[in-house]
């Protein structure tokens, strides 16, 4: 689900860093309808702990967002959801997108210090755009220029990104031919597509090379995401293979693809289960609240904020060009709260439900060598070694008998002494109220505010 005009969150310093690195995170503006400046400030400060520098837009909230972003040194980039077509009545104009409306939105804050620029132009992205075609995007660029605000356009043409999973070279050449107005490109496909296999970098390499060879001057943007699961009732529900996605996708982006920009999907898209923001209040009323409906059944109580620890580590690596020095012990863990073959009383089994592994995943970042011990029910004291050289990962399977439910337990052990320990916040159980493939994410160790790279 995407907002009519989603926003991009900038996750890097305004100036391009030593490694030429900029990182965004996608922000869903329909999830900011209850925001005042106070809520924008809360989100911005949380994001700033890991390097994030900007937010985005909604017709009655963009002024607040820019006010706070300017004060905090954040940047904002527009990303219009162009999967909306003629006849859909939830556009702010009541009709399909039109260039006058879009240019008005761009122009209003184009001269703001918070507006993100690329080679001096306002950088504009999209989600989709195939419904409108190249002529529409070309007219948008022309209309913006006539209004005195040149734009660089880097759309996320998702049909090409998905098709490139099986035929990257052909799709890269095709998007260059079909969209001469595209200065750059956002490869939105941050997950394997209906495959029980890790996502490769083949599509990224093909798109990046094609735009470079064609002499396009806009940025190539690689998307990085921690998860994908959604339940859209009559529109279907599905998941993609994401067990260790966040860690290896960051490494691939940094070491192999080396794009101009990395974009995290997402900061706050709760119904798609790839949020890294703190949870909204479960009351669904008051500041920062959401009306999640059925999605609340698999979101409330399922915290993902500890994934920001992983993001912070790799953002620092990306911005500086080298792995950061580790000064504090931190263990990030994630796990689904019921086995994939559990019979739940609510919800429906998603497509690709056989893909995920019934296991607890552990990501350890140590200041010095230690053994990381994990117990999941009868699977007691599964250990692996970690040190300060790089993050290390392990996987501990769910036990066959979950009984009345088990809480994973974690410890950092040195010389036989447990330096720190913690437990999972939600039990793993075979008796479930709702089909939920959204993982609990937790942290043992230093909180984000206590660690600066």
Per the prediction, the chain carries an average pLDDT of: 88
pLDDT tens sequence across 17-44: 333 578 888 887 777 667 777 777 777 7
**Peptide linkage before 121 cis (omega within 30 of 0):** no
| 50's tokens | 């890991």
More confident residue, 224 or 98: 224
pLDDT tens sequence across 254-290: 999 999 999 999 999 999 999 999 988 887 777 777 7
What was the pLDDT predicted at 94? 46
Q: How confident is the model at residue 6 (pLDDT cuts 50, 70, 90)?
A: low
pLDDT tens sequence across 320-368: 999 999 999 999 999 999 999 999 998 889 999 999 999 999 999 999 9
**Helix locations, 49-148, DSSP H:** 62-72, 99-108, 133-146
Give the full edge-to-edge strand order of the sheet including 392-397.
Answer: 392-397, 359-365, 330-335, 440-445
If we measure between CA atoms, which residue out of 265, 270, 266 comes closest to residue 291?
270
Query: Residue 278 to residues 270, 282, 305: CA-CA distances in angstroms?
Result: 10, 12, 5
Residue 112, classified by CB atoms within 10 Å of its CB into exposed (0-12), middle (13-18) or buried (19+), is middle
Spatial separation of the C-alpha atoms in residues 96 and 89, rounded to whole Å: 8
Cβ-based neighbour number of residue 422 at 10 Å: 16
Spatial separation of the C-alpha atoms in residues 81 and 104, rounded to whole Å: 16
The residues spanned by each domain of the chain are 5-320, 331-450
| 407's tokens | 């809480």
| Cβ proximity of 309 and 365 under 8 Å | yes
Query: Residue 36 to residues 53, 60, 90, 272, 288: CA-CA distances in angstroms?
Result: 18, 10, 22, 24, 8
**Helix locations, 214-347, DSSP H:** 245-252, 296-299, 307-320
| Cβ proximity of 423 and 406 under 8 Å | no
What CATH number belongs to 331-450? Answer: 2.60.40
Give the full edge-to-edge strand order of the sheet including 417-423.
Answer: 379-386, 370-376, 409-414, 417-423
Beta strands 417-423 and 409-414: pairing type? Answer: antiparallel
Q: How large is the C-alpha radius of gyration of the chain? A: 22
**CATH classification of 5-320, choosing from 3.20.20.80, 3.30.56.10, 3.40.50.920, 3.30.2290.10?**
3.20.20.80
What was the pLDDT predicted at 451? 60
What was the pLDDT predicted at 215? 97
What was the pLDDT predicted at 231? 86
Which residue do the tokens 């898209």 mark? 269
Instruction: Write out 128-185 in H/E/C secondary structure.
Output: CCCCCHHHHHHHHHHHHHHCCCCEEEECCCHHHHHHCCCCHHHHHHHHHHHCCCCCCE
Mean of the pLDDT values across residues 202-231?
A: 97
Mean of the pLDDT values across residues 6-19?
A: 47
């Amino acid at each position: 689900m995407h907002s009519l005009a989603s926003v991009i969150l900038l996750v890097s310093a305004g100036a391009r860093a030593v490694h030429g690195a900029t990182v965004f995170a996608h922000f869903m503006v329909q999830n900011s309808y209850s925001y005042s400046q106070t809520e924008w400030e809360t989100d911005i400060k949380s994001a700033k702990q890991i390097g994030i520098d900007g937010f985005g837009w909604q017709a009655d909230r963009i002024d607040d967002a820019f006010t706070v972003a300017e004060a905090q040194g954040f940047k904002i980039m527009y990303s219009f959801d162009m999967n909306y077509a003629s006849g859909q009545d939830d556009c702010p104009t009541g009709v399909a997108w039109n260039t006058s409306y879009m240019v008005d939105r761009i122009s209003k804050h184009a001269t703001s210090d918070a507006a993100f620029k690329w080679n001096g132009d306002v950088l504009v992205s999209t989600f989709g755009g195939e419904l409108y075609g190249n002529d529409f995007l070309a007219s948008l660029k022309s209309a913006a220029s006539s209004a005195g605000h040149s734009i660089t356009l880097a759309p996320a043409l998702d049909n090409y990104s998905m098709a490139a999973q099986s035929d990257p070279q052909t799709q890269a050449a095709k998007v260059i031919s079909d969209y001469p107005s595209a200065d750059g490109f956002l490869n939105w496909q941050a997950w394997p597509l209906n495959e029980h296999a890790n996502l490769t970098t083949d599509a990224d390499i093909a798109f990046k090379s094609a735009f470079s060879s064609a002499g396009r001057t806009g940025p190539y943007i690689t998307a990085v995401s921690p998860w994908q699961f959604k339940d859209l009732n009559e529109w279907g529900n599905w998941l993609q293979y994401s067990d260790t996605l966040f860690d290896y996708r960051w490494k691939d982006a940094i070491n192999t693809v080396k794009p101009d920009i990395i974009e995290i999907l997402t900061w706050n898209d709760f119904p798609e289960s790839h949020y890294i923001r703190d949870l909204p209040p479960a009351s669904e009323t008051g500041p920062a609240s959401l009306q999640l409906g059925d999605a609340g059944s698999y979101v409330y109580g399922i915290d993902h904020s500890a994934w920001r620890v992983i993001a912070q580590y790799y953002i620092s690596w990306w911005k500086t060009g080298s792995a950061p020095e580790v000064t504090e012990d931190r263990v990030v863990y994630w796990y689904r709260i019921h086995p994939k073959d559990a019979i739940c009383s609510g919800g429906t089994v998603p497509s690709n439900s056989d893909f995920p592994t019934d296991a607890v995943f552990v990501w350890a970042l140590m200041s010095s060598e230690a053994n990381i011990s994990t117990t999941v029910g009868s699977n007691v004291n599964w250990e692996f070694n970690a040190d300060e050289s790089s993050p290390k990962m392990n996987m501990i399977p769910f036990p066959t008998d979950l009984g009345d439910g088990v809480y994973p337990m974690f410890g950092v052990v040195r010389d036989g002494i447990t330096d720190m320990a913690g437990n999972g916040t939600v039990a793993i159980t075979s008796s479930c109220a709702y089909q939920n493939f959204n993982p609990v994410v937790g942290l043992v160790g230093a909180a984000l505010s206590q660690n600066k790279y």
